[in-house]
């Protein structure tokens, strides 16, 4: 017998005000969990969690470590549903992946304090070797 149990996840764009209606439709169709697009701001995360407070399925938050300023420019030009706060842009000015990892780890630490969050999805952007460093922050808890 080769039975398995699958869970159905749905994507969410936390910064889209139109997202709630779409999300509720996906959930009524049988979604088991929500996975967000990358988030770079606690304010955006808190607003998303407030907006979806009535939704009881698990919420997995997307994290994408920034590689450099060029990556920020690409995100802003091509991914209009994702915003990056000015303080993050300033920190990445002239910086590289090391600073991007530091920012990601700080954000993960903050997220780990929020009970409404079921987990974190790391977008490593073809750099799988960075994942252990990012998740190492969980050892502090």
Nearest to 81 by CA among 16, 10, 4, 1: 16
CA-CA distance, 16 to 92, in Å (whole number)? Answer: 25
Structure token digits, residue 132: 């252990």
Residues 6+ apart with CB under 8 A from 38: 62, 63, 64, 82, 123
CB atoms within 10 A of CB 37: 19
User: What was the pLDDT predicted at 138?
Assistant: 67
Could you give the count of Cα atoms lying within 13 Å of 72 in the half-sphere of its Cβ?
20
Cβ proximity of 134 and 106 under 8 Å? no
User: What was the pLDDT predicted at 139?
Assistant: 64
In order, the DSSP letters of 1-14 are: --------EEEE-T
Q: Across all residues in the chain, what is the average pLDDT?
A: 92
- pLDDT tens for 98-136 read 999 999 999 999 999 999 999 999 999 888 999 998 988
Classify 60 as helix, strand or coil: strand
Query: Each residue's pLDDT tens digit in the chain (141 positions)?
Result: 788 889 999 999 998 878 889 999 999 999 999 999 999 999 999 999 999 999 999 999 999 999 999 999 999 999 988 999 999 999 999 999 999 999 999 999 999 999 999 999 999 988 899 999 898 876 665
User: What was the pLDDT predicted at 43?
Assistant: 95
Compute the Cα dihedral for 24, 17, 120, 65 and give only its sign.
Answer: positive
């Amino acid at each position: 017998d080769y039975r398995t149990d699958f869970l159905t996840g749905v994507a969410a764009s936390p910064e889209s005000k139109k997202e709630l209606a779409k999300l509720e439709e996906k959930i009524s169709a049988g979604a088991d969990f929500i996975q967000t697009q990358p988030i770079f701001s606690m304010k955006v995360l808190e607003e998303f969690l407030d907006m979806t407070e009535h939704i009881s399925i698990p919420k997995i938050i997307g994290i994408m470590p920034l590689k450099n300023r060029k990556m920020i420019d690409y995100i802003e030009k091509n991914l209009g549903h994702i915003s990056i706060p000015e303080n993050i842009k300033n920190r990445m000015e002239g910086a590289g992946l090391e600073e991007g990892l530091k920012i990601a780890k700080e954000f993960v630490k903050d997220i780990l304090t929020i009970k409404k969050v079921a987990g974190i999805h790391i977008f490593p952007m073809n750099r799988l070797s960075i994942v252990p460093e990012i998740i190492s922050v969980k050892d502090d808890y």
